[in-house]
Chain A
Amino acid sequence: MPSIDRSGNPPLTEAAFYILLSLASGPKHGYAILKEVEELSQGRILFSTGTLYGGLKRFLEWDWIRRVHKPEEDGTGRPRKAYALTEKGRRILNAEIARLQILVKTARIRTARAG
């Protein structure tokens, strides 16, 4: 089961990283995030709704994401609640991407030397 990073600082857990990454392309509602994370992780990360909203709740508290009302409506005609990255959230995501790039680069250099 995926868990959400509680520290509020990188390095992020894989689950937290994918949630933020799923919002990088624009605001999404809960179900869209669920599907996007599944797709981005190639089916490795499947959130339950409780885990997803537990994570979203913390990200809201840490000001990484904010709520927006999407023009798209649900079955009842109400506007759907969606989530979008804040400036802080985007900075956290970019910092994590940069950290992962350095990791990969270091690993490539080391494995190339070994090879």
Chain B
Amino acid sequence: MEITRAAEKIFAACLGLYPSRFRAEFGGEIREVFSESLRQAERRGLLSVLAVGLREISDLPINVISEYWEEYHMRNLQLSQPFVRPLWWGAVGFGLSAALADLINAVIALQPSGLTGPFAPDALFGIGMGLYALLGGLGGLLFALVCRQSAEAKRCFMAGSLGFLIGHLLSIPVMVASGVLLFLWNPSNNAALLMTIVTRWIDLFLMVSLTGLFVGWLNKDLRRALTLAGFAALGTVSGGLLGLGFCGLLARIGPSAVGQSVITAGWIFAVNSVAGIIGGALLGGAIGRGGASRDAALAAV
């Protein structure tokens, strides 16, 4: 019957009004039941078919609104309850990974080959990249285990690695360009110090933002992903600015090359730790719990 086929098509289009999660779970079944209702109604005549169609149409607005309302409440519930623990533990995982990565980076920076010239640290960049990816992955894994989502462990590991790795990859052109500019401006170790600090700051900014984005992505929530990325980035900018101010001051004083390298390594570590702490606190704050925010900051220390 033509009218039945038309009704099925209209109904399929109307199903698109429901929230995507509801559609994904029940859309197929709803269509089957509707088609079966229509087939049964066909036997009783056109009026029955119209009655089935009218019943669906008249109930549609309130059902759609009701499902969106449920989705909205469910989202708020997820933001305020089960995500609290995982989120700030995720922040701790990130903070620990970043601190470990920086400790290794600081040790690498103390090698004699890395003492002079703005491009010297780049020689070890590849090793640093690998370590970051591994530590990022371990951070992701920690996140998965602490959240008791061992089924997602592999995905979390990959997300963590990718977050760190992409952050670093994006920072390469910035690092090279700022190094060249600073070297042209003042070809001294002070410029190298400033370059390292500036690029490390940008580097970390990207890294933390992307990690926040991936944490959100793991939870399949774009809005949360963007919120986390924003808050994490804000935390890193604050920490970076603070560290940059101190290091800029140090660069002006200008100690000897060896002493300066030690200071560089130490300050890179300190800057990133501060960024981690503030980032952790803001990650906690992002979920709207003051207590969690304080705990995240303390844990990141």
Contacts and interface: CB of A to CB of B under 8 A. Distances in A.
A39 B67 CA distance: 27
Interface stretch (A47-55, A85-93, A97-105): A47-55
Given A34-B37, A49-B37, A81 B59 contact: no
A11 interface: no
A54 B64 CA distance: 9
23 contacts: A1-B58, A30-B29, A30-B32, A31-B32, A31-B33, A46-B55, A48-B55, A48-B59, A48-B63, A49-B33, A49-B37, A49-B56, A50-B59, A50-B60, A50-B64, A53-B22, A53-B26, A53-B29, A56-B26, A57-B22, A57-B25, A74-B32, A81-B29
B36 interface: yes
Interface string B175-193: 0000000000000000000
Q: Binding site of A, secondary structure by majority: helix, strand, loop or mixed? A: helix
A48 B22 CA distance: 16
Interface of B is mostly: helix
Contacts, number: 53
Given A1-B59, A51-B59, 14 more contacts: A1-B62, A30-B29, A31-B33, A31-B36, A34-B37, A48-B59, A49-B33, A50-B30, A50-B63, A51-B63, A52-B33, A53-B29, A54-B67, A56-B26
A58 B22 CA distance: 11
B20 interface: no
Nearest to B18: A50
Interface string A44-84: 00101111111011100000000000000010000001000
A46 B64 CA distance: 18
B119 interface: no
Contacts of B58: 1, 48
Interface residues of A, number: 18
Interface in B11-64: 18, 22, 25-26, 29-30, 32-34, 36-37, 55-56, 58-60, 62-64
Interface of A: 1, 29-31, 34, 46, 48-54, 56-58, 74, 81
B66 interface: yes
B32 A53 contact: no
Contact of A53 (B30, B37, B60): B30
Nearest to A50: B63
Contacts of A54: 63, 66-67
A48 B30 CA distance: 10
A53 to B, nearest CB: 4
Nearest to B36: A31
Contacts of A56: 26
A45 to B, nearest CB: 11
Contacts of A49: 30, 33-34, 37, 56
Contacts of B70: 57-58
